[in-house]
Amino acid sequence: MRSDPIDPAPGDSARLKVNSSHRIARERAVDSSLHALARGHASPLAHASGWHDHSDFGTSTETTSREVVSQGLFSQRFFQFGVVLLALLTLSGCSGERGGQAMEQPDAQAEAIQSAPEVDPDVTVVPDAPSEFSVLPPTIGQGDPQFADSAVESDPEPSMAFSSEMAPRSLALPPPPPMAARVAESSPPGPAATLPAGATHDADRAFATVAVYYATDRQRDSVALSAYNVTGNRDALVLLGGSSIVFLALAGFSVLRRRPQAALGFSTFGVVAALAASAVLLSGTANIEKHGVTYNAARGTLVKGIAEVTVPDTHQRGMVERPSLLRFEIREDQQEHIVLTSAVELSDSDFERQLAETVALSPSQDLLVFIHGYNVDFQSAIRRTAQIAVDLPFEGVPVCYSWPSQGTLLGYTVDENNAAWTQTHLKQFLLDLAHQSGARSINVVAHSMGNRPTTGALVEIGWEERQFDTEPSPLFDRVVLAAPDVDADRFRRDLAPALTSIAEHVTLYASSDDQALIASKQVHGYPRAGESGDDIVVVPGIETIDVSGIDLSLLGHSYYGDAPSMLQDLYQLVRNRLPATQRPQLIPRPLGALTYWQLIGQPAVRQRFSAESSSIK
């Protein structure tokens, strides 16, 4: 049986309406009171009740409420500010060296890739007859899988034969496998097949040890390498210690402003940061045996030596793995990070003897000399040299020349002076290598501000050689100028013509994404040789490669060692000794009567927060 709803009586309906109206009025009054208290005015409820006019208790209650609301808003805002500041400090200081990137193909370059020449990924380059500088690269698709798609397809030179099989044609570069996988697939088996000369591999401890010969005119540090308690963690210590000081200063400011809650919050952050800094200091003594010397940023005398750097089997190509706070890493681990374990000075005679012996053991008797740029300390330069040699891979002898860069962002003007000061020492060192190392091929790679002493020294060497021989043979094989922080007009007029006579082949890498060089142009007032776009430098006898788009990092300045596509091009340039016309990832771009080349690579879209930035075999 269905029942009808009960209608309320007329009197009950009127009472419900009155009660509802009163409830809504009370809610609006409360909301108005809260907003008024937050603005520092008397509330409507206070006016209605007469608290502020007729009662001392009411006045004190209103004042207390305003203070509570005000302090609450202040504390909340400063707490949020503290959290954001700590996060920014952590992200900006989580690594003291350049982080690496993983590579992906961008949509922006799809059109360029489609216009690029098709490439057969299984082409094998086989020289008909060995020449003085002939270098046999790993068999593509067999001996070195990371270069499986790096085949060469072009009109054959008279001295070269090409063989290929039917296969899909693509320029896509697959991400390189970890070192352990590539070691297992290498031919002949074993990591020593593709490690630099003089390197060894410890399968039980899962890392390789790379010998890096070095020369430096830095001042020797009073603290030995073995005495560094926080080796590899200096940046973490500075970050946490600085954060502690900042937060404690904010806490003191809050006390002066009579903001106890904000002071308590900042004090907590400061104490936590101080405790973390203490933990880094106390636990920084990793169980890694180190010995030898290290060098600071002051000027010294030219000395030579041998350094040893361990590279883990988990090493990824384009990375220089270092401890990271974001991964809760405090100390160095040879199975996870690239670690400098030894730096031993040698006399000139011992250096020449040991270098010549190692060169003789290398397959092609060649050297790879790396000259770093601005804002690089000695240890970072040695680690970067080892990473580049491993990532190419380079089977000759890696050599590092380290000049007294201050290793700080604010040391630019001092670095400029020291880059000019070191030119004489670098010139002498390069001459010693050319005449005493026994190397059949000397390849030079300079980066950023390091191009200033490098180009200056090479020009002087060429001028001196011509004093004794009107047509001297080039002393150097491949010379690579990566992101040169050199005046573009001076490079065209004074440097480029002389460089082509001292080296067999000169390559300039430039980018329009290089924010460091854009800043340098603002400082100096004129374009730099490492810029592309409207200011790109294209001169006869030098191959200019535009690498814009392959490095999407904040500065876009370290592509020479971070970008796998750049490392692959270096491999084909230095190891295969191929000109730009035979490197499939390069497409020609006309500029008047001259031509430069565009590198079609895969840009970095994922940042790994490590202290530096690579795969090893």
Helix (H, G, I), strand (E, B) or coil at 546: strand
Residues 457 and 509 in one domain: yes
Before 393, cis peptide (omega within 30)?
A: yes
Burial class of 292 by CB neighbour count within 10 A (0 to 12, 13 to 18, 19+): middle
Residues 245 and 194 in one domain: no
Mean pLDDT of the region 144-160: 38
pLDDT in tens, 95-150: 335 433 333 333 433 343 334 444 443 444 334 433 333 333 343 333 343 433 43
- The residue with greater pLDDT, 13 or 444, is 444
Backbone angles phi and psi of 437, in degrees to 5: -80, -20
| Residue 377 placed within a domain | yes
Residues 173 and 245 in one domain: no
Of the residues 250, 268, 283, the one at which a domain ends: 283
- The residue with greater pLDDT, 226 or 294, is 294
Residues 6+ apart with CB under 8 A from 590: none
Residues 244 and 213 in one domain: no
- Chain-centroid distance, C-alpha 189: 31
**Diameter of the chain by CA atoms?**
123
Burial class of 519 by CB neighbour count within 10 A (0 to 12, 13 to 18, 19+): middle
- Chain-centroid distance, C-alpha 180: 23
The CATH number of residue 480's host domain is 3.40.50.1820
pLDDT band of 608, cuts 50, 70, 90: very low
| Residue 312 placed within a domain | yes
| Residue 71 placed within a domain | no
**Residue-number span of the structural domain to which 247 is assigned:** 76-92+234-283
Residues 454 and 476 in one domain: yes
Least confident of 168-172, 436-440, 464-468: 168-172
User: In Å, what is the CA distance from 117 to each residue of 151, 244, 606?
Assistant: 12, 56, 28
Residues 216 and 244 in one domain: no
318: left (phi over 0), alpha (psi -120 to 50) or beta: left
Angle (CA) 320 445 431, round 5°: 130
Residues 199 and 348 in one domain: yes
Residues 6+ apart with CB under 8 A from 68: none
Residues 249 and 364 in one domain: no
Residues 321 and 279 in one domain: no
Q: Are 41 and 65 in contact (CB under 8 A)?
A: no
pLDDT band of 55, cuts 50, 70, 90: very low
- What pLDDT sits at residue 539? 96
Residues 176 and 293 in one domain: yes
Place of tokens 């374009």: 527
pLDDT in tens, 542-568: 999 999 988 756 677 888 888 888 999
Backbone angles phi and psi of 216, in degrees to 5: -155, 150
- The residue with greater pLDDT, 175 or 125, is 175
Residues 317 and 274 in one domain: no
In the numeric block, which tokens belong to residue 357?
């012996």
Place of tokens 């990924």: 121
As a 3-state breakdown, the chain gives helix, strand, coil percent values, each rounded to 5, of 45, 20, 35
pLDDT in tens, 266-314: 889 889 888 877 776 665 544 677 889 999 999 999 999 999 999 999 9
| Residue 70 placed within a domain | no
- What pLDDT sits at residue 17? 53
User: In Å, what is the CA distance from 382 to each residue of 386, 398, 608, 613?
Assistant: 6, 10, 21, 13
- Number of domains observed in the structure of the chain: 2
What does the DSSP assignment read for 380-391? HHHHHHHHHHHH
Rounded distance, CA 462 to CA 464, Å? Answer: 5
Of the residues 264, 283, 302, the one at which a domain ends: 283
Residues 296 and 279 in one domain: no
- What pLDDT sits at residue 556? 75
| Residue 253 placed within a domain | yes
| Residue 35 placed within a domain | no
pLDDT in tens, 470-525: 777 899 999 999 999 999 999 999 999 999 999 999 999 999 988 899 999 999 99
Rounded distance, CA 577 to CA 554, Å? Answer: 32
Q: Which DSSP symbol is given to 374?
A: S
Rounded distance, CA 412 to CA 410, Å? Answer: 6
pLDDT band of 255, cuts 50, 70, 90: confident
- What pLDDT sits at residue 238? 72
- End-to-end CA, the chain: 88
| Residue 300 placed within a domain | yes
Average pLDDT, the chain: 74
Q: Is the pLDDT of residue 167 over 70?
A: no
| Residue 308 placed within a domain | yes
Helix (H, G, I), strand (E, B) or coil at 367: strand
Number of Cβ atoms within 10 Å of the Cβ of 175: 14
Of the residues 267, 283, 299, the one at which a domain ends: 283
